[in-house]
Chains A and B, each alone.
Chain A
């Protein structure tokens, strides 16, 4: 996509004459070309002297555009893809897994929402450790310096049992599988996701199974609102990249979000209406300070009823 001039470099039939012809119709970019009626263009090309060259150029443009969009797939293909590739990643906590009917689904963007200190980061650590030990590598994108290697070590040791020498080998392997990247503004996050996408597209052997972004709201909140709409555009870009990574490369994506005060003193998830539609699954966390029992409640799920909840503790 882009300026027509860029395409002249690679394609012989899109030459300077063609570009001039398009300019005479007010077409400067591929989007303008798509918006114009092709038959009208062909008809006006007929009237000029070099009509064959121009028609060749139009056909070339149409074939280039064909290669850029996603192919149509049938429901059968989608179902097969779902059966073979999109498994559930167990979170390591039985009540959580039962609530989600298996765990975090690959290909979905799951969001953990909750007030401060309600267990979101702890459950992220738990899921990361579980996936790192058994399934593949984990990318943890941290915006609040909350990634703590000692805590991960405690969790991995607890999950894999307590046989000493055996545990040490597993510990090193599991912790090597978790990569932590610190980002402090939303452009850095977009860079990191873009970089991940390119390296996954080029190296087919790398098995990233889980991406955790903790937390996306602290990155976007400083630019959301105010007079410009950049914040909403950036939310959409982040959402688009996360979903593409999840779907194309069979990764489960986990995002954490904060809560802000809504009407009547109740809390509601941050980032507002634009973000609401981006995650596939939204789970709300709560914590009972007196008994130290954490609760999770389904706010939104593609195929399960919302309102289901479960309790769990974090040892």
Chain B
């Protein structure tokens, strides 16, 4: 039944099958008015059905390219592409960057989860600032989209981090770019950093789904966007959801949309997640929220946790990185390497 493979609604497929059209060839040979008469639908609908059919069959034309399928890339070409273009966003913490292979990679969906207060939003804001570091300073010179579901984005904190980043860049240029080159390299002001962050605030899960669909149109209009940060993806899905099966389906759809965005536009998608308690093998332990099916939605997964008094990041899932863990700290300047005076303060 080839008709089943077409992206049409169930009622349209039912009408096609009961009128006797089960193969794509038989549909494409009829005219729209004839089809409209047979199926008892409007001519516009018949035109739409035929368009869907012809879109599908257009792919069947064999091309002269080396690959068996149109639109596929050989692994060798992908490797060359990966090795030549710079695709990592630094996190400003050298240890974390080294276990991540340079930073958060573009074209992939990275999920970062942890207990409250561990620094997820801080890491999100740091990435939104770091993506804008110009090419000359080792960054990728892009813009950021920050989708806030919890209301935890503070513009003052972003300004503080941007100031620290700008200060670091000025110092770097003073040390490494001497002579006439120093004048050419432009420095970014903290205000410029904030201007390049597109901020969206969503207040319900339907808004979240709508926004994910809208990004498909938004990103081509703003081609510099290189990172999409969603903080946090769980908030609207945890309360008030009665139908768990619906939640799984909706999350599955969002996950596919985000994967498509990452691949199509070459942006890094960073999802911040909360934790929940799971009971297994007789003990309770912390696991990321949204269930087992969501755990397959991201390409990479990083778990942030406390180890004694220090903050640690652990790579839980990655197709190309080894499992490793690295300490980091949250300072007034943002996320930095861990040092002895940044540990957790215990209140007595």
- A residues with a Cβ closer than 8 A to B are 1-6, 9, 28-32, 115-117, 121-122, 125, 132, 137, 139-140, 143-153, 172, 175-182, 184-185, 187, 190-192, 194-196, 198-200, 202-203, 206, 208, 215, 217-219, 221-226, 228-230, 233-234, 237, 258-261, 265, 267, 270, 292
Contact = CB atoms under 8 A, between A and B. Distances in A.
Contacts of A176: 66, 74-76
Interface of B: 1, 4-7, 10, 19-23, 25-26, 29-30, 38, 56, 59-60, 62, 66-76, 78-79, 82, 107-109, 245-246, 248-250, 252-253, 255-257, 259-260, 262-263, 279-280, 291-293, 295-297, 299, 301, 316-317, 319-320, 323
A315 to B, nearest CB: 10
Contact of A185 (B56, B73, B256): B256
15 contacts: A3-B38, A9-B29, A32-B20, A143-B259, A145-B263, A148-B319, A152-B75, A175-B75, A194-B60, A200-B68, A221-B293, A222-B250, A225-B249, A234-B4, A265-B280
Given A125-B319, A198-B60, 17 more contacts: A1-B26, A2-B21, A6-B25, A28-B19, A115-B295, A137-B68, A145-B263, A150-B82, A151-B319, A153-B79, A179-B75, A180-B73, A184-B259, A184-B260, A218-B252, A230-B10, A261-B292
Contacts of A9: 29
A26 to B, nearest CB: 12
B296 A175 contact: no
A230 B256 CA distance: 18
Given A144-B299, A151-B319, A258-B296, A3 B109 contact: no
Contacts, number: 191
A233 B3 CA distance: 11
B293 A258 contact: yes
Contacts of B79: 149-150, 152-153, 175
A203 B68 CA distance: 9
A196 B256 contact: no
Given A6-B26, A149-B75, A180-B73, A260 B60 contact: no
Specify which of A29, A116, A208, A267 lies most central, judged by the most chain B CB atoms within 10 Å of its CB: A116
